Amino acid sequence: MPSGSIDSSHPTLSSLSVLDRAKADQVVALCELCENHDGVAPLNEQALLTLNDGKIHDGIAHVVAEIDGQIVAYALLDSAIPDPQLGALSVAQFMVHPQHRRRGIAWQMAGSLGFDVRPEADADQAERHRAGLLISAWSFGNLPSARTWAEKYGAAPVRQLLIMRRPAAEVPAPRFDAGFTVRPFVEADMAQMLEVNALAFAHHPEQGQMSADDVRARMSEDWFDPEGFLVLEHQERVIGFHWTKQHSAQRGEVYVIGIHPEWSGRGLGRHLLNAGMQHLAQRGVDEIILYVEGDLEHVVRLYRTSGFEIINTDVLYRTTNRT
């Protein structure tokens, strides 16, 4: 549609198990448009990987809203995210073209997936929620519109993901005792690295489930730097890893860092953090960011004392059961 025009037509909704290449390209373009408009991406990395790979995934549904063949809104629903209280969560990510917002399209998409928490929801829908069929939705950057939506529909924040940043200059040199080695990851490390990841992120519903296929998918991305995927080894056993990511010439990221719980509390995490940041600094970036769960106070404290400051917050909202 021409820039600046608003089409008042009602969108056609389609629920799909997989997106073809043409639709995936449209969704990526819409994501970029929304990011430019809002200053924050509406979909996370995992969503983009999933919608782009052309595969059917258990528990994944895509919803597209189209007007005259043009996608004006998109939702991805993952119904297989483990949750300690509910067993599994249905977690959604929504985005709507800025010119088509405030028209209820996001809730039309949610309704097409079997969820509706509006006051006028019918008895069957309310019964589904009483049975525990709740939906959660990410608000990346926790924009004012998301806070308004949450208040209107009674959704409560249940999880916060902090985005932190520090300058890349003056990274302390990592220091490890004899017997510890930091080196680049190799394929033979996969099983041990995944074991460390699962144990270190047992509390994390997404990261803790990372598989070998997930690792290889990210290693095939353009940003992957083999020298920036570090493992910490002791007596030929991987006990930690720090995977870095370079977004641009200016920005790097502490992408994932984990220490085997048996080795936690010994200062190894801080030195492994410094090793990865030193690598990014040597690549010439100006700043380093990371994402961390807001309720992990000891980890947030580690990052604060390593020079990081909070610059933004992603919030996961969850609808509440109706009585």
Cα end-to-end distance, the chain, whole Å: 43
Closest listed residue to residue 134, CA positions, set 95, 86, 84: 86
- Under 8 Å between Cβ of 141 and 275: no
List helix spans (H) across the chain.
21-38, 45-52, 105-112, 123-130, 144-153, 190-200, 212-219, 268-282, 297-305
Dihedral in degrees, nearest 10, Cα atoms 38, 6, 73, 317: 50
Q: Is 269 annotated as a binding residue?
A: yes
Give per-residue burial for 7-27: e unless 16+ CB within 10 Å, then b: eeeebebeeeebbeeebbebb
Asked if 135 and 78 touch (Cβ cutoff 8 Å), the reply is no
Is 55 one of the annotated binding-site residues?
A: no
Task: Give me the residue label for tokens 């109706």.
Answer: 322
Dist CA 104 CA 91 (whole Å): 19
Tracing tokens 């290449």 back to the chain, one arrives at 21
Q: Is 141 annotated as a binding residue?
A: no
Residue 151 known to bind ligand: no
| Residue 265 marked in a binding site | yes
Query: What's the rounded Cα separation, in Å, for the pair 118 and 106?
Result: 12
- The CA–CA distances, whole Å, from 157 to 73, 106, 186, 217 equal 23, 18, 39, 31
SS3 at position 160: strand
| 76 vs 57: CA distance, rounded Å | 12
Is 228 a known ligand-binding residue?
Answer: no
- Spatial CA neighbour of 133 closest among 122, 117, 147: 117
Question: Is residue 9 a known part of a binding site?
Answer: no
258 is in an annotated binding site: yes
Q: Is 120 annotated as a binding residue?
A: no
Tell me if 257 is assigned to a ligand binding site.
yes
Please check if 267 is assigned to a binding site: yes
| 134 has binding-site annotation | no
Binding site per annotation, positions: 45, 206, 245, 253, 257-259, 264-270, 291
Binding site per annotation, positions for acetyl-CoA: 257-259, 264-270
